Amino acid sequence: MTASVSAPTHTVRIGSRKSQLALVQTYWVQAELQKQFPELTFEIHTMATQGDKILDVALAKIGDKGLFTKELEVGMLSHETDLAVHSLKDLPTNLPEGLTLGCITERENPADALVVHEKHRDKQLETLPPGAVIGTSSLRRLAQLRYHFPHLEFKDIRGNLNTRLQKLDEGGYDAIILAFAGLHRLEMGDRIHQVISPEVSLHAVGQGALGIECREGDQRILEVVQALEHTPTAQRCLAERSFLRELEGGCQVPIGVNTAIDKGQLTLIGMVASLDGQKLIKDTVIGASENAEQLGKDLANQLRQQGAQDILDEIFAMIQRG
């Protein structure tokens, strides 16, 4: 079935980062939209974001929210582009005035994945030797893995997926942790050595889903992007984003989640951990999936009552000190 739009123009301009992963994701959105709206033309406009330009500084130290999204947002606000495709987990929970999250697409496997150096091919996360060096720039992965495996060492790693895999293969690390979804989308799923269970690592808010951002009130574009909305994913991600927003966490905080929907009931698990791996607070809420946002707030309050805010305040203070 083909939806119809009363378009004043037949061209829709899509903003995207230039990274290989961003482009694969944007091409997918372009192709799906083209199928639904054969009468429209979808153009891709690539832009470099701050996060693409600063490669030598640990992400948490840059700390700026919207590191991978700001330039794309300016493009929409200045009407150079009409929508932007993001990895949902890179999209801050509070968007600039005038922009809205128009669509959340169907989620890939949101789990984290372990990729090991060749010499550890017979090992699992559980059996890596003491002192093994794990590459990650994610405070969330670091804190959870330290909590579960205090004998492992951690070292920052930056760059795109290929760069990271190369640094691993060259021996700079014993293993690295990456999102299953990114490796899979780049057809590098064969590098996944172990899918890490949610008992060990709760994934980032929005991980594995794409978010399409557009101008608020731009009915023509909203109608177009909503064709790609996947309701169960959207409900899960809205709960996750509401949880993160309520805890005032940016995209670089040791906060993890897991969600599932069964017979209209949404289960949301969330955790906050300290960077030294000493403290980890985790809890669960269950409720109607239509109340996704409220569930996220409820869980944030539950965790706060158990001391989550103290952990986060300590981390914010530490990051600010640099």
Closest CB 182 distance from ligand DPM, rounded Å: 3
Instruction: Tell me, by CB under 6 A, how many residues bind ligand DPM.
Output: 16
Interacting positions 244-283 with ligand DPM (CB under 6 A)? 251
Nearer to ligand DPM, 75 or 211 (CB): 211
Nearer to ligand DPM, 132 or 209 (CB): 209
Which amino acid is it at 193?
Answer: H
89 binds ligand DPM (CB under 6 A): yes
Q: What is the rounded distance in angstroms from the CA atom of residue 76 to the CA atom of residue 215?
A: 7
Task: Give the residue, chosen from 69, 137, 233, 258, that forms a contact with ligand DPM under the rule CB under 6 A.
Answer: 137
Q: What is the rounded distance in angstroms from the CA atom of residue 271 to the CA atom of residue 260?
A: 16
90 is known as an active-site residue: yes
Q: Give me the residues paired with residue 181 across strands.
A: none
Torsion of CA 180, 238, 140, 213, to 10 degrees: 70
Which amino acid is it at 88?
Answer: L
Q: What is the rounded distance in angstroms from the CA atom of residue 63 to the CA atom of residue 126?
A: 31
Task: Give the residue, chosen from 83, 101, 145, 178, that forms a contact with ligand DPM under the rule CB under 6 A.
Answer: 178
Q: What is the rounded distance in angstroms from the CA atom of residue 160 to the CA atom of residue 317?
A: 29
In the DSSP assignment, the letter for residue 67 is T
Nearer to ligand DPM, 42 or 154 (CB): 154
Closest CB 8 distance from ligand DPM, rounded Å: 33
Q: What is the rounded distance in angstroms from the CA atom of residue 13 to the CA atom of residue 26?
A: 11
Q: What is the rounded distance in angstroms from the CA atom of residue 18 to the CA atom of residue 69?
A: 12
Cα-only R_g, the chain: 20
Closest CB 149 distance from ligand DPM, rounded Å: 17
Closest CB 135 distance from ligand DPM, rounded Å: 8
138 binds ligand DPM (CB under 6 A): yes
- The backbone region for 72, taken as left when phi is positive above 0, alpha when psi lies in -120 to 50, beta otherwise, is alpha
Closest CB 235 distance from ligand DPM, rounded Å: 17
67 binds ligand DPM (CB under 6 A): no
Give the torsion sign (CA, 106, 111, 117, 119): negative
Nearer to ligand DPM, 157 or 222 (CB): 157
Active site residue: 90, 174, 218, 298, which one? 90
81 binds ligand DPM (CB under 6 A): no
Nearest to 271 by CA among 311, 228, 219, 215: 311
207 binds ligand DPM (CB under 6 A): yes
Nearer to ligand DPM, 37 or 154 (CB): 154
Active site residues: 90
Would you tell me which residues interact with ligand DPM (CB under 6 A)? Answer: 87, 89-90, 136-138, 140-141, 178-179, 181-182, 204, 207-208, 251
